[in-house]
Amino acid sequence: MDTNVATERILSISDILARQAQLRPDAVALLAPGSPPLNYRQFRQETLGIAGQLAARGLAPGDRVAIVQPDAAGMALSFLGVASLATAAPLNPAYREKEFDFYLSDLNAKLLIAPEGDHPCRAAAQALGLGVVELAELRSPGVHESRTPAPSQEALVLHTSGTTSRPKLVPLTQANLCHSACNVAAALHLQSSDRCLNVMPLFHIHGLVAALLASLSAGASVVAVPRFEASRFFSWLEEFQPTWYSAVPTIHQAILGASRAEGLPSAKSNLRLIRSSSAALPPSVMSELESCFGVPVVEAYGMTEASHQMASNPLPPRERRPNSVGMAAGPEVAVMDEAGALLPFGREGEVVIRGDNVTAGYESNTAANAQAFTHGWFHTGDLGYLDPDGYLFLTGRLKEIINRGGEKIAPKEIDNCLLEHPAVALAVAFAVPHTSLGQDVAAAVVLRPGMVALPAELKDFAAARLAPFKVPNRILIVDEIPKGPTGKLQRIGLAEQLGLFDKAGQALGPAAPYVAPRNALEERLAQVWATVLNLERVGIEDDFTQLGGDSLLAATLLTQVSAAFGAGPETLVCEGISTVGAMARRIGSWRDNEEAEGVDQ
């Protein structure tokens, strides 16, 4: 049996590296394109050297070191070296100077490890009077720091990816990270023979724990690519022969897009599994991945506050359940109602967790802690339910649920529906402000290369599969959907990012022009619509739902129109009630048929 650290629950990053350097000093630990590999002995010496150089500069446990490294291998070494002594704070190299100013200040960092050359982080650090050092200086021979941090010592601090509010600061201890790394390694049955192709950024908990630390805890190797590029993914598979990779759904979809475009023989890779986490994986994407690569896709569930992993689907021969993020894989997982009572199987509520990998609380944020840490559990903000076998199914996010005139809509359901259309490569439903409904439903769609689909066609497709109130009132065909810095699609704020509304909820761009009725039928219909919707006027091309219509008002409208024109509601529904013009055309057609039938008789 292969000996690995995942079974021993070592509770400091320094001890993980020390243990592997002792067990397998010559085994490869870290690889990167264009660089010689580092074995575990070299890797251990590198991280000890960085820790020693930091200690020589006066850094101590509890001090925070910000890290900005565009090179993933450099980020891996920096993170592990810093975390062997103090607290690592990796930052996105793509931030602007103003953003660096905020994050460096909020972290109260004592030092910045910056990339070579001119970079916005340097100007921000200089303005704050913060010391700056390059990784090359820390890798020079010097005093080695061999001290072992305590399990309770802070090892990593990250900001949550906030969209509409200030990002929260999440401190994670040595024990938090090591527990979570071992949980991932156990869930995936990682052995020293495994090799992870890390395509996730190492300023995000997914890449740091699931790819890097989980692999090291098992004595396996990691390939640190500079940044994810779908066009290079298959050459990396061939060059490094990884046995697995973990990514967010948008990266999986980009890989599938590259495979379709190039007709690449994906199934010839050395992969034994694919892992997906950090966002819901559409079933259609899972199916296509498994068909493309011929290996199982394991969907997991993680978040920063849990040092990443909370639940995971098992590997074959155990059952992987589509639409489920699996069973508890580390912390305890339960579902709770608003009053704090745990719910039985099948009942939907908020997903809550507790365990050794969960942060003790947000830093300097009493209000957030009071909301998130109650009844002895951490509240994730996700909605879901557990089935009788303990598989967790997520149904939405509390803050992402669309409240359309009192109808609660989970946008994930709309995503999955639109993804069933053969022309759709990516779909994200989101809320948009509405004057009378409060919120309405919109969706952004990216089409597959060479495919064509009109918004009206996609709306009809959705209308045949969803309840009317769930059908997006507006569908945008776009080349790309804005993503967060880690590649996750973020629904909150998407209406603003796509230029539909401003921060105050005001529509941007010219309003749809008013088109007056052209005949007596349209004039009379427009008056009925205006009365039902309590509006001064209605144009013949104005959309019913955009005017504030809902299912109850639709029933009222059909009844009044039927009484006024003698047309049964079933006749009107055949055409739909999207506009006055559409209804007028339907009634006109119905009248023509009635007259024709009278002549025939």
Residue 243 has a pLDDT of 98
How far is the C-alpha of 454 from the C-alpha of 457, rounded, in Å?
Answer: 5
What mean pLDDT value characterizes the chain? 87
Residue 498 has a pLDDT of 84
The pair of structure tokens assigned to 219 is: 């004595």
The pair of structure tokens assigned to 300 is: 């997991």
CB 296 within 8 A of CB 316: yes
In 3D, which of 478, 525, 468, 523 has the Cα closest to residue 498?
Answer: 478
Q: What is the DSSP letter of 363?
A: T
CB 53 within 8 A of CB 75: no
Encode pLDDT of 415-434 as tens digits. Answer: 989 999 999 999 999 988 87
pLDDT over 90 at 170, yes or no? yes
**Burial classification of residue 250, based on how many CB atoms lie within 10 Å of its CB (0-12 exposed, 13-18 middle, 19 or more buried):** buried
The pair of structure tokens assigned to 333 is: 């997982």
How far is the C-alpha of 415 from the C-alpha of 445, rounded, in Å?
Answer: 9
Beta strands in 250-405 (DSSP E): 273-276, 297-303, 308-312, 324-328, 332-336, 349-354, 373-374, 377-386, 392-397, 402-404
Burial 286-302 (b: 16+ CB within 10 A, else e): bebbeebbebbbbbbbb
In 3D, which of 255, 242, 246, 252 has the Cα closest to residue 277?
Answer: 246
Q: What are the start and end residues of each CATH 3.30.300.30 domain in the chain?
A: 402-497
Cis peptide before 283 (omega within 30 of 0): no
How far is the C-alpha of 472 from the C-alpha of 440, rounded, in Å?
Answer: 8
pLDDT over 80 at 252, yes or no? yes
Phi, psi (degrees; rounded to nearest 5) at 243:
-100, -15
Q: Give the architecture (CATH level 2) of 520-600.
A: Orthogonal Bundle (1.10)
Q: What is the mean pLDDT of residues 42-57?
A: 94
Helices (H), 163-267: 174-188, 205, 214-217, 230-240, 249-262
pLDDT over 70 at 264, yes or no? no
DSSP-derived 3-state class of residue 391: coil
pLDDT over 70 at 592, yes or no? no
Instruction: Please state whether beta strands 377-386 and 349-354 pair in parallel, antiparallel, or not at all (unpaired).
Output: antiparallel
Q: What are the start and end residues of each CATH 3.40.50.12780 domain in the chain?
A: 5-393
Lowest-pLDDT choice from 266-270, 365-369, 432-436, 575-579:
575-579
> What CATH number labels 5-393?
3.40.50.12780
Provide the pLDDT confidence category of residue 575 given band limits of 50, 70 and 90: very low
Residue 1 has a pLDDT of 36
Lowest-pLDDT choice from 4-18, 209-223, 382-396:
4-18
How far is the C-alpha of 27 from the C-alpha of 5, rounded, in Å?
Answer: 15
Cis peptide before 317 (omega within 30 of 0): yes
Q: What are the start and end residues of each CATH 1.10.1200.10 domain in the chain?
A: 520-600
CB 362 within 8 A of CB 172: no
DSSP-derived 3-state class of residue 9: coil
Q: What is the mean pLDDT of residues 136-163?
A: 82
Residue 422 neighbours by CB under 8 Å, 6+ apart: 448, 451
CATH class of 402-497: alpha beta
CB 121 within 8 A of CB 51: no
Helix, strand and coil in the chain, % to nearest 5: 40, 20, 40
Q: What is the DSSP letter of 34?
A: T
Encode pLDDT of 436-478 as tens digits. Answer: 566 789 999 999 998 988 888 898 899 888 877 788 988 899 9
Count of other CB atoms within 10 angstroms of residue 503 = 8
Instruction: Please state whether beta strands 28-32 and 221-224 pair in parallel, antiparallel, or not at all (unpaired).
Output: parallel
Residue with the two structure tokens 């109808």: 407
pLDDT over 50 at 95, yes or no? yes
How far is the C-alpha of 529 from the C-alpha of 539, rounded, in Å?
Answer: 10
Residue 510 has a pLDDT of 44
How far is the C-alpha of 254 from the C-alpha of 426, rounded, in Å?
Answer: 10
Encode pLDDT of 480-515 as tens digits. Answer: 888 766 566 778 778 888 877 665 555 544 455 678
Phi, psi (degrees; rounded to nearest 5) at 202:
-90, 20
Phi, psi (degrees; rounded to nearest 5) at 385:
-150, 160
Q: Considering the entire predicted model, what is its pTM?
A: 0.74
